[in-house]
Amino acid sequence: EYHTFVVSGPIFKKRINILKVEKITRDRHCFLDILECELAEKL
């Protein structure tokens, strides 16, 4: 099973910059916890 997280797209006014994450592994599963992020103007 996979999940995605979209940080920019044509329907969004701004994009999301991911600044800090923590990788978590439990049994056979891995997660990325987003600890810090910011909104930014699109390039």
| Residue 32, strand partner residues | 23
| Domain ranges within the chain, ordered by starting residue | 1-42
pTM of the predicted model as reported, rounded to 2 decimal places: 0.74
| pLDDT computed for residue 3 by the predictor | 86
Task: Write the pLDDT tens digit of every residue in 11-33.
Answer: 999 999 999 999 999 999 999 99
- Asked whether the predicted pLDDT for residue 6 surpasses 90, the reply is yes
| pLDDT the model gives residue 2 | 76
Q: Say how far apart CA 11 and CA 30 lie, in whole Å.
A: 29
- Return d(Cα 17, Cα 6) in angstroms, integer: 11
